[in-house]
Structure 1
């Protein structure tokens, strides 16, 4: 990979703005209704606020550090407003400790605690909830007295917001609590001119501050009617803001009252290996007041000097991302100084770079294996009823072709395989697979036709419902990048358009592309992606495979390089660098991890990371090789970036050393030893070249050629 050029705004230009090619049948319907969504698409499917338009519309939304939900007349408060909750670390519930590690199997945060509910007297059983301004990091939630009525209260939700803010449109404010008021005290002197302040002590000992501000001059006078209900004496035009005080934070919270965020503009630039990305907050309310926003640990770690000066001492616990830190600023700038710009297709090390030279003896040994594997029936192996498994097969053979051509120095053999690979890929590029993709305009995306044809909502891991798109399509993008690298003549307009359509579906960078939402999967606030699509869930979005998340970012990087789209390549590099940073805090745990609970990090991996819980398991079984291994596959040049040596060594010592890995069977055995190659290539080489090596130890997305080549390259 050549040194990356300077890109002043890597989010500035769309990949494309045209409709997806005619090979994609267009559907205007989708099995999941768009509850309460106003306006035309495309609509976000995998973002933090999805519960507001799914199911009963009242499962929680996790804005960090708060969670909010439409109370909908239910729960202890019996409110029809927006309930606000914040969970302390000591309120967590832990699963049973594992006998071998002593680590809790899971931890979760209680849901349904209605500390404060912001409502209006006019809301009742006929109330409705609508959404507008649906963006990647923000949304407006509107509460209406009746369906198709006018909004009585609007809640602009922005990830990391320091206050939950309700904009009252002439309705009468009502505040409920399911925890009960101990005292409600009005400040005799507001924190600033025009702002009314109440401090509420709840019966759980927690302190909340409530602020009222009206540009029209309305005043907020609350009457406490009982220990769970207070209401204003008259209708109100203005904002009411709620913030929890973790202790010694009142002055900081006071100073930020009156202003609130309404959205986020993401921008970014690169220069060499340095990447910079910025959140610029759109702001309303008091313009001379700086916003209070909460940053996650990986943000604070990467803040530039000026942003770091705005960091306060105020912290609140998040559900699964450690302590959030209050930042008093209208914009944040984060720096990734070591993007992997020189990483290409060859095995790679963060210190010594790409490994393209193999010893002659290794080449001779691997070549016999490559000859066998490159002769396998690629068309048959990739012709499956699953985009996921088909993509894995194509990427597997792409790596065999690459290794044969570039590292084993056998272009003739590589091209015979490459021709078969291109033929196998063409089935998908022509959209002639068993379940062709549809472009559906109801939400805005390319989805498997499997659910439409079978009625099974879980077909192909829920692809039709937008589950796992970055996993599924990432493998195709990766295979295409290798094909294009080996044969630039394959990069015809139809082939590039097909692959770019998959990139647009998972990682469209621009709102000027009207066919796909912006960054469906990657969450620029959390620093990783969410796999969970259009299914209501109490614990919020989740993701099981951190390594396949990394794979999709790597695929975007190398595809951008192959088609000479410098901005796409830069976005892939930036995402990889951010993922590497966030995984080490939230997903992959060394013994000194200070973010996750101390009694959980012994698991070494999160298992499935939700917004509200971590569960050391998988969706397909509880074998330890499944739980750890799903965070290892596939083995890529980027693996050593996102899975650092120290982590791999500690994980291996916890679960797999001293012959324990040898007792595991099936494709997971190969995955484990492929992972071992990142830190102990000699032992991995001995395993993969053993005379009694069993082909059943290869996962359907893995080849012996690539495993041997990877280990040999790192051995030097």
Structure 2
């Protein structure tokens, strides 16, 4: 149990697995990471691979397997194939323990003993051997093993076209069959030099030689300044540190000296080219974004505003009690109502606000004071976090909230509705501040040393710079996320809560993560025709991905096949908010996306709710056409409304009639 109490009652979470088998004794107490990029190492048997750029890594039967994956591409998916390129062990069997983790790394202790600090973006895999008989193996035929520098450097060539370099801090007698003569004590560093798919620069071996003596053991990311992200690695050995950057890093990295960027040194990855950067610290400067309650551009005329008010009056009159018990769908419905209150403020329809405020208070309070019938929020002492009462004993209830799926989606909608109600009723806001902060801290705690109930940034990946939605479920392709727009909603809504509570830290971290989530969505989920991240075969058939996995890109969704393009587009847009304008700021891409999606609307059975999202995007470049199509809609998403659609379209600028 924790020395401090949660604002919500504790529960025995039988849906989630036991964390104790894979965490060392000093780490096993909650809160523990539930959505980390290395989560497979702590689930089931711990033997599913994880993508630690640029390598796939597996820990199984006491051995570490390293793979530089080949890439398979077709029109509907991209994935990387795991093969046992090199297997390293010091013992015939056993399992690993996680002895350290941080923002950018995880350390596995394997039997032998063999300590492996897996630091994301390192071109080398580092193994600290504490004495014993090393064993190397591979599934490939070994063509040649060459030794250099007094047996401290080895070049290994396989029949699959790969050449690897192995460095050791002490002499290592590596034989032609990869057997080792004698015991070894020291540090090993393994790096791919080339394979048949890469055109290798002549300098690559020299670069790997030069930086082989300095290795990272851990890292920290500083987020204290808004829109500024600082990486700092702890290192051992001698010389400078060489790491790899992905494209989003390079977009916002403060320009290092010319001697720090090694553009001719890199690796391919699932996320585009990785490029070498020298130095044990980086600074990333994100472009500041506005966090506003209302539209950025505003209405163009009183006549257009009045058309929104007419719809608003009807939507407010139609507010009915919410019947669902699902934390996700319930959250969408209260957020939908909250949008009506803010649109009422923006259109000066103040007489409509009390009805919405009453609706929000009646529907949100029971979740916070424990009186909601049929579900509710509870605290899980096993991993450390908020879950739903229904999710505590059913791993599929509430979309797996009990196994830490989609927390930023569920709680993001609640945060939005709560922020609006708190804005309207300050007494209510302060009465329920402990519960409100518990909800937002579940997915957005920055300093666990000060907040002992929740792990640091549960959903957000500080190396990839976006969130993962899946939690304590083992997947062969690692973590995944479907809807970036719902992730954006969570961080935007947290920043709105910061405005209400005058909490500058909450505003700063919420807006920073929102900006990063948007940038990553544009890099890896949006697929404009001119992107170079993905191969042309995939790009030609996809304007947006379905699900982004750590080690895979697919066209289908969890709930829809690839050909349901309107769903793919809509899930990357909802909910429609003021910040949506920034997410879809590239109007050229938006036009490509809409034109790609429109043919899917001719399919029988297309739901009206998804059409509404497509028309809202069309309004960015053809307001009149979008308005006429919205006029024909017979239904809306449960988190959307006619009022919200018209508010969006009429605040785009330009002409339009309804």
> Secondary structure, in 3 states, of the residue corresponding to 1:705?
helix
The aligned residue for residue 569 of structure 1 is: 507
Q: CA distance change for structure 1 residues 658 and 220 in 2, over 3 Å: closer, same or farther? A: closer
2:244 and 2:277 in contact (8 A); partners too: yes
Mean CA deviation greater in 657-666 or 358-367: 657-666
Counterpart selection for 1:253 from 188, 205, 208: 208
Residue number in structure 1 paired with 2:608: 666
After the TM superposition, which residues 258-297 of structure 1 pair with which residues of structure 2 at under 5 Å, given as runs?
A: 258-268=213-223, 270=225, 275-284=227-236, 286=237, 288-297=238-247
Q: CA deviation at 1:365?
A: 2.2
Name the structure 1 match of 2:41.
52
Partners of 2:566 and 2:299 in 1: CA distance: 32
1:210 is matched with 166
Q: Within 5 A, what are the aligned runs for 1:688-707?
A: 688=630, 690=631, 692-694=632-634, 696=635, 698-707=636-645
Following TM superposition, by how much is the alpha carbon of 1:180 offset from its aligned partner in structure 2, in angstroms?
Answer: 2.8
Structure 1 Cα separation of the partners of residues 282 and 33 of structure 2: 24
Alignment of 1:327-366 (within 5 A): 327-336=277-286, 338-341=287-290, 343-347=291-295, 354-357=296-299, 359-366=301-308
Residue of structure 2 equivalent to 1:683: 625
Write the deviation string for residues 122-170 of structure 1: whole angstroms up to 9, x where unpaired: x123x1211121323221111125xxxxxx0011112112211111112
Which residue of structure 1 lines up, in the alignment, with residue 31 of structure 2?
42
- Within 2, Cα distance between the matches of 1:244 and 1:270? 37
Contact 2:405 2:470 in 1 (8 A): yes
By how many angstroms is 1:534 displaced?
0.5
Determine whether 1:306 maps to 2:270.
Answer: no
> What's the CA shift for 1:372?
2.0
5 Å-filtered alignment, 1:216-615, equals 219-224=170-175, 226=177, 229-234=178-183, 236-246=184-194, 247=200, 248=202, 249-268=204-223, 270=225, 275-284=227-236, 286=237, 288-306=238-256, 309-336=259-286, 338-341=287-290, 343-347=291-295, 354-357=296-299, 359-378=301-320, 380-381=321-322, 383-404=323-344, 406-433=345-372, 434-453=374-393, 456-492=394-430, 494-512=431-449, 513-602=451-540, 603-615=542-554
1:281 and 1:330 in contact (8 A); partners too? yes
Equivalent residue of 1:238, what SS?
strand
Tell me the SS of whatever aligns to 1:578: helix
Please tell me whether the aligned partners of residues 319 and 611 of structure 1 are also in contact (alpha carbons under 8 angstroms). no
Residue 69 of structure 1 is aligned with which of 48, 54, 58? 58
Q: Which runs of 5+ in 2 are unaligned?
A: 195-199
TM-score, length basis structure 2: 0.92
Q: How does 1:105-254 map to 2 (within 5 A)?
A: 105-111=76-82, 113-120=83-90, 123-125=91-93, 127-144=94-111, 152-188=113-149, 196-213=152-169, 219-224=170-175, 226=177, 229-234=178-183, 236-246=184-194, 247=200, 248=202, 249-254=204-209
Q: Please report the TM-score for the alignment, with normalisation by the length of structure 1.
A: 0.85
Output one character per residue of 1:68-94: Cα deviation in whole Å (capped at 9) or x when no partner.
00143xxxxxxx41000112xxx3223
Q: Is the 8 A contact 2:59 2:95 kept in 1?
A: no
1:584 shift after superposition: 1.9
Tell me by how many angstroms 1:209 deviates.
Answer: 0.8
Partner Cα distance (1:28, 1:364) in 2: 50
Structure 1 partner of 2:71: 92
SS at match of 1:109: strand
Residues 714 and 323 from structure 1, CA distance in 2 versus in 1: closer, same or farther, beyond 3 angstroms?
Answer: same
Distance in 1 between the 2:432 and 2:624 partners? Answer: 39
On the 8 A contact 1:208/1:243 being kept in 2, the answer is yes
2-structure distance, mates of 1:143, 1:701: 48
Q: Is the 8 A contact 2:95 2:110 kept in 1?
A: yes
Question: 2:16 aligns to what?
Answer: 31
Aligned 8 A contact 2:14 2:392 in 1: no
Kept in 1, the 8 Å contact 2:46–2:60? The answer is: no
Runs of 5+ in structure 1 lacking a partner?
Answer: 1-15, 73-79, 96-103, 146-151, 191-195, 214-218, 348-353
Cα offset, 1:714, TM superposition: 1.8
Distance 1:308 1:225, change over 3 A: closer
The offset of 1:582, in angstroms, is 1.8
- 8 Å CA contact retained: 1:392, 1:701: yes
Residue 232 of structure 1 and its aligned partner are, at CA, apart by 4.2
* Counterpart-to-counterpart distance in 1, 2:444 and 2:249: 21
Give, in whole Å, the separation in 2 of the partners of 1:129 and 1:527: 28
C-alpha separation between the residues in 1 aligned to 2:508 and 2:584? 21
360 and 384 in structure 1: CA distance in 2 versus 1, 3 angstrom threshold: same
TM-align CA RMSD:
2.3
Superposition deviation, residue 29 in structure 1:
5.9
Give the number of equivalent residue pairs.
636
SS in 2 for 1:396: helix
CA distance in 2, matches of 1:384, 1:683: 35
Q: 1:539 to 1:675 in 2, by over 3 A?
A: same
Q: Deviations over 1:214-245 (max 9, x none)?
A: xxxxx33224263xx322412x3321110111
The CA deviation string for residues 293-312 of structure 1, in whole angstroms up to 9 with x for no partner, is 11111101211122665111
The CA deviation at 1:57 is 1.2
| Partner Cα distance (2:179, 2:404) in 1 | 42
Distance in 2, matches of 1:308 and 1:105, equals 39
Bigger drift between 439-448 and 31-40 goes to 31-40
- Mapped to 2, the partners of 1:399 and 1:52 lie a distance apart of 41
Contact residue 17 and residue 515 of structure 1 kept, 8 A: no
Looking at structure 2, the residues matched to 356 and 422 of structure 1 have their Cα atoms a distance apart, in angstroms, of: 28
CA distance in 2, matches of 1:596, 1:225: 38
1:638 to 565, 571, 579: 579
CA pair 307-507 structure 1, distance change in 2 beyond 3 A: farther
Q: 1:178 to 1:441 in 2, by over 3 A?
A: same
Residue 661 and residue 268 in structure 1: after superposition, are their counterparts in 2 closer, same or farther (change >3 A)? farther
Please say if residues 481 and 559 of structure 1, whose CA atoms lie closer than 8 Å, have aligned partners that are also in contact: yes
